Amino acid sequence: MLKQAFARHPKIAALLAGFASATGFAPLNLWPVTLACLAALLVLIERAPDRRAAFSRGWMFGLGHFTLGLNWIAHAFTFQDSMPHWFGYGAVLLLSLYLAVYPGLATLGTWWLSRTKLPSLSGRGRGWVGERSEPLSFPLLFSALWLATEFLRSTLFTGFAWNPLGVTLLPTGAAIGATLIGTYGLGALTILAASAFLLAVRRRFRPAVILAAPLALLALWGLLSPAPATPVGAPRIRVVQPNIGQDEKYSVEAEYRNFRKLSTLSGQPRPAPRLIFWPEAAIPAYLDMEPDWRARLAHLLGPNDLLMTGGDKVYFKPVEENGALVNKLSGANNSVWIVTPAATIAGRYSKAHLVPYGEYLPMRNILEPIGLSRLVPGDADFWPGPGPQSLTLPANPGHPALKMGIQICYEIIFSGQVIDPANRPDFLFNPSNDAWFGSWGPVQHLAQARLRALEEGVPIIRSTPTGVSAIVDARGHVVHALGLNRAGFLDAGMPPALPPTLFARLGNWAPGLLMLMLLGAALALRRAKS
């Protein structure tokens, strides 16, 4: 019956397989289902009669895959009144219609390359090699092209790297492979594992073992690899989660209550030094312009403490109104500030990778007149900062001289773009505002942050208003966490960084080299069998 359904309604089968494949992401983490659905996609590509069918089947798979995986985006529309709330579901669909192009390109490319005649070693040209002949070249082609198109998805048109396929491997231990080949390389290995499953079903056990072996070895390595122990005397950190919802965040009436939550959860000053972390946009103040606010924050700190908090940096321009010059808001940076006990600013980082429609409105001159606006309140767009930086925290008798990298919210999802390789940090701070991400978005966000810790070999500290706040060690393990919709704090020692990983040294050249190896192996096998 299942075979008949595949044959009669291949596009519907692809759509349903794609929809089910997204259950491998958090919070469900049903990664075996993802593998089975990818195996079904392989069958559909193999049986595609032409290029149009090959593309449309991949595109339908992607449509189902992204529609379920990105359902949390619809929740964001409930926090603004400029557009109807139901439009959130339309936004998810529209975004998925675009993102599905990338799996479609991968399936089209695989179909086309598998049928392109190659010069034969024996002089006999041959077309595609499929299920009944050479069993390895087709999966190798698909894994290489999936890797390539997933990288393109993360870079074109500012990129949207959310939910890369490799993140489904986090529960297996095989995600430790990110230290070698990065997130996009893990996606390719996931395709190979799905192909191994399909070959095992077809009783082609030898090639199935060959394709499954890399993932199995990585899983064993990951399960046996010990977590880096936090040394005695490590710097103390306090991560604050105030449980301030998006509906309260911009309320003037709630400003005092919100600050009291943050200050209470930060704890009383103590002789031992602390690094205190507050969420993205935690305070409504402009710290470089409001000394009273800096004094207010400094009052919460002990003599050797430092506070890292999100807050905007704003810019004004003189505009003539009614014959007089007035300063009008022209733009802002979404920033993190380092506040000292002396009420001074020891450093600032500004977010570089901004969220379209969240922090700025693309093509504002066109979209604003037809009623579209940003999802986050504000009249002026945010401006991007210069990119990854390492800020040196002020050293004193209680603090070692630590280097802190910062990635604000959405920035953390971009593999290979989170640290300054010339000035490697001791840890990454990832303040975020996930309060408008529903219940699926925050846990998916944390999963992707864990991959960055693995790739770079540095711990990550996440502070969010409503969860999930966490301390992640350099092996991607969640050491401590605060769940959704609860107020609290994490008080712990700073996990140590590890030596730079292979991926940290090579960046996305590492998965790029893997892609070339897979592609070369696939074409070599085809030629050898021709």
Q: Can you spell out the DSSP letters for 433-470?
A: --TTSTTHHHHHHHHHHHHHHHHHT--EEEE-SSS-EE
- Tell me what the mean pLDDT of segment 474-490 comes to: 96
Is 409 marked active-site? yes
Give me the sheet containing 390-392, strands edge to edge.
390-392, 403-406, 427-431, 460-463, 469-472, 478-482
**Which residue, chain included where needed, has tokens 């191994």?**
196
Which residues 6+ apart lie within 8 Å of 303 measured at CB?
A: 269, 341, 398
**What CA–CA distance (Å, rounded) separates 204 from 7?**
22
* The pLDDT value given to residue 17: 97
**Average model confidence (pLDDT) across the chain:** 90
* The pLDDT value given to residue 424: 97
Which residues 6+ apart lie within 8 Å of 155 measured at CB?
A: none
Residue 132 has pLDDT above 60, yes or no: no
**What CA–CA distance (Å, rounded) separates 485 from 108?**
43
Best CA proximity match to 98, nearest among 41, 159, 188: 159
**158-174 pLDDT, tens digit each:** 899 999 999 999 999 99
- 160 CB neighbour count, 10 Å cutoff: 21
Which is the catalytic residue, given 248, 249, 261, 409? 409
* Whole-model pTM over 0.85: yes
Residue 264 has pLDDT above 80, yes or no: yes
Residue 93, CA atoms < 13 Å, CB-side half-sphere: 5
Which is the catalytic residue, given 351, 359, 455, 456? 351
Residue 434, CA atoms < 13 Å, CB-side half-sphere: 31
Residue 259, CA atoms < 13 Å, CB-side half-sphere: 15
Which is the catalytic residue, given 280, 359, 455, 456? 280
**What CA–CA distance (Å, rounded) separates 271 from 173?**
40
Alpha helices by DSSP H, listed for 354-439, are: 364-367
| Three-state DSSP state, 335 | strand
**What CA–CA distance (Å, rounded) separates 378 from 91?**
21
**229-257 pLDDT, tens digit each:** 999 889 999 999 999 988 787 777 888 99
With the C-alpha atoms ordered 6, 10, 13, 14, is the resulting torsion angle positive or negative? Answer: positive
Is 117 marked active-site? no
**What CA–CA distance (Å, rounded) separates 402 from 13?**
53
**270-328 pLDDT, tens digit each:** 888 999 999 998 999 999 999 999 999 999 999 999 999 999 999 988 887 777 777 88
**104-125 pLDDT, tens digit each:** 999 999 999 988 775 554 444 3
pLDDT interval class at 6 (50, 70, 90): low
Which residues 6+ apart lie within 8 Å of 310 measured at CB?
A: 278, 279, 280, 281, 282, 283, 334, 335, 336, 337, 408, 431, 433
Residue 429 has pLDDT above 80, yes or no: yes
Cβ–Cβ under 8 Å, residues 314 and 332 = yes
The structure tokens listed for 307 are: 């506070």
Is 3 marked active-site? no
**Which residue, chain included where needed, has tokens 């960084």?**
497
**What CA–CA distance (Å, rounded) separates 416 from 506?**
9
